[in-house]
Amino acid sequence: MTLYKNIEIPQLDLKYEQPLGLFINNEFVASSDGETIETFNPATEESIASFQAASEKDVDFAVKSARDAFENEWSKTSAEERGLLLLKLADLVEREKSLLAAIETLDSGKPYHSNSLADLEQILQVTRYFAGGADKFNAGRYIPLKHDKYAYTMRVPYGVVAQVVPWNYPLAMASWKIQSCLAAGNTIVIKPAENTSLSLLYFAKLVKEAGFPAGVLNILPGHGPVTGTALASHKDVDKIAFTGSTNIGQTIMSLAAKSNLKDVTLECGGKSPCVIFADANLDEAVPWVAAGIFYNSGQNCTANSRIYVHKDIYQEFLTKFKEYASKNWKFGSKFDPFDEECTLGPVISKGQYERIESYVDHGKDSEKLSVKQLAEYPSKKGYFIPPTIFSDVPISSKLSQEEIFGPVAVAAPFSTYDEAITLANDSSYGLASCVFSESARTTGQFARDIKAGTVWVNSSNDEEAAVPFGGFKMSGIGRELGPSGVETYLQTKSVHVNISKL
């Protein structure tokens, strides 16, 4: 059974050896039951490779490896040592940046030049940020109580942490979790998504090369109902962090509660509003809003998929938005994500393609909705969906309420601030939001009143490694990035010290 495959990417004149095994104890190994998963290129629908899929037995082995590594070695390392290892990992990621971006494009369909390389830049920033934060975000507190007693708190790692990451940002979402969790001093068992496991498996080689001890990071590709369920239910896992759909997040939380009440961090779905007031600079707003919904083919939890525009500039916005999107968000003449002309790649899979299509068809068939589709559907292989906007969409429509997770936006006008904030908050989600206005008073009120974990003022979808990220309502629990990225993987221990004399 082969655990490696030689893969060629002719568009970049690139050849490399792709690991295909489970990564446990710094080695690639076969699954215990021989189960494999085949992954496909969404731009061509062609098979790339088949990799090992972890069984429940493999999960047990990986968790034990992580536990042994934590108890015997990793928990005894200093924060400074962990930071230095992460800095070395960052250097290796930078060395392999072009290859890692190419693997992302091959496996997920991201445009190489405008998307995958940008993802790698963020991964480098995140890795170096948490390398620098390893000895800065773990401080406890001294608490003077009385003359003969004081207390102090310690911020200590959980131990073994399970992580489950999605397919829309395979390596970036993994890096948000892995680098911060390692900085905090935990060991990890992580499951990548079934259809985008290749980049994280290659990343494992760099983790080993950087010098991380065996068992500190274990990577288990596998099926969600098997591998994911086993991790969420495992009684020797101390915490689980998940990014993905809200319904799976609810399942993860339930399994965690029923097993050993392990701590849970969830980053789930979104239906993020974008509110554009009458005094907004449309020439600046339009590019931001277009990127906010069409980047990564709209496969973003934070995508500004609901666009509310003041009635006085509504038609002007739609005209400018359609013109800009038609010119700047395109598949390219070759429908090849490696082509520099390609800024909009395919969606991840046939299932996702059909799901998005069903929403588009619903919009076309509804008499109350008017569709403004910005391109014709291509008659070729690959799961390409053009940028699409529906105008005058009521808040009651499922296009306004449900997460489509594709390059499809809805727009509607509003008249007053109160109406705008009511529309923006009318959602079960609360992950992100954005507002465009030249008035600091208006944007300040919006930031106060919106029920969302992130607010972008006169921009959209520009996360920063130093700023905490997470959702309100059904969009999740807890925060990642910033100091919170480390703190979420630490728990507080209180120590009472009595110095009185008998």
pLDDT of residue 130: 98
Q: Is the pLDDT of residue 411 over 90?
A: yes
* pLDDT tens digits for range 91-108: 999 999 999 999 999 999
Residues in the chain: 502
Q: Is the pLDDT of residue 364 over 80?
A: yes
Q: Would you list the domain boundaries of the chain?
A: 4-137+157-268+477-490, 273-465
User: Would you name the residues annotated as active-site residues?
Assistant: 267
Q: Is the pLDDT of residue 376 over 90?
A: no
CA neighbor of 387 nearest in space, from 312, 308, 303: 303
Query: What are the structure tokens assigned to 293, written together?
Result: 């919904």
Q: Which amino acid is present at 102?
A: A
Confidence of residue 212 (pLDDT cuts 50, 70, 90): very high
* pLDDT tens digits for range 240-262: 999 999 999 999 999 999 999 99
Confidence of residue 375 (pLDDT cuts 50, 70, 90): low
Distance CA 456, CA 255 (A): 34
Q: Which amino acid is present at 277?
A: F
* pLDDT tens digits for range 54-86: 999 999 999 999 999 999 999 999 999 999 999
Residue 212 has what DSSP assignment? P
pLDDT of residue 428: 97
What is the arithmetic mean of pLDDT over 163-182? 98
CATH architecture of 273-465: 3-Layer(aba) Sandwich (3.40)
> Residue 494's Cα: distance from chain center in Å?
33
Confidence of residue 502 (pLDDT cuts 50, 70, 90): confident
Confidence of residue 289 (pLDDT cuts 50, 70, 90): very high
Distance CA 374, CA 293 (A): 13
pLDDT of residue 303: 98
Q: Is the pLDDT of residue 326 over 90?
A: yes
Largest CA distance in the chain: 87
Confidence of residue 269 (pLDDT cuts 50, 70, 90): very high
Q: Is the pLDDT of residue 371 over 80?
A: no
Query: What are the structure tokens assigned to 463, written together?
Result: 């996360």
DSSP SS3 for 84: helix
pLDDT of residue 313: 98
Distance CA 79, CA 156 (A): 11
What is the arithmetic mean of pLDDT over 340-358? 96
Confidence of residue 367 (pLDDT cuts 50, 70, 90): low
What is the arithmetic mean of pLDDT over 283-291? 98
* pLDDT tens digits for range 102-159: 999 999 999 999 999 999 999 999 999 999 999 999 999 999 999 999 999 999 999 9
pTM over 0.85: yes
pLDDT of residue 378: 63
Confidence of residue 2 (pLDDT cuts 50, 70, 90): confident
Q: Which fold has domain 4-137+157-268+477-490?
A: Aldehyde Dehydrogenase; Chain A, domain 1 (3.40.605)
* pLDDT tens digits for range 421-464: 999 999 999 999 999 999 999 999 999 999 999 999 999 999 99
pLDDT of residue 369: 67
Q: Is the pLDDT of residue 380 over 90?
A: no
Percentage with pLDDT > 90 across the chain = 95
Q: How far is CA 45 from CA 195, 199, 349, in A?
A: 12, 18, 8
* pLDDT tens digits for range 29-63: 999 999 999 999 999 999 999 999 999 999 999 99
Q: Is the pLDDT of residue 379 over 90?
A: no
Note whether 64 and 236 are within 8 A (CB): yes
